[in-house]
Amino acid sequence: MPEETKIMQEEPFVPIAPFENFYELIMRANSLPYGLAGYAFTCSLATATRASEALEVGMGGVNDLLLATAEMPFGGVRSVVPAERAARLGIFDYLDAKHTKLKFA
């Protein structure tokens, strides 16, 4: 979808954005006012790690779309309910919680 479309700016649920530069893609993803979940699909553990660390989201998935489980925080950053407020995690009251699930075949 073109970057200018309303859905890519307001409700970017599952947009597929091809990219040439990893940092450009991360910058585009993190520029939105929402940060509930972010996903990356890669065969590289190095890219998976970089994406997990760089995406400003409450929940991250690498090669997997099923993130929510009862024992993990559910929430996000910026204009979304923070993950640490959505679960009873004690120490997370003082940290930015992030859940990343990686899957490699």
List per-residue pLDDT tens for the chain, 105 residues long.
677 777 777 666 655 666 778 888 888 888 877 787 888 888 999 999 999 899 888 888 899 887 776 666 666 777 665 555 555 555 556 677 788 888 887
Q: How many beta carbons lie within 10 A of that of residue 77, not counting itself? A: 20
89 half-sphere exposure, CB direction, 13 A CA radius: 21
Residue 62 and residue 100 in contact, taking contact as beta carbons nearer than 8 Å: yes
H-only helix segments in 1-105: 6-10, 22-30, 45-54
Helix (H, G, I), strand (E, B) or coil at 60: strand
Dist CA 81 CA 77 (whole Å): 7
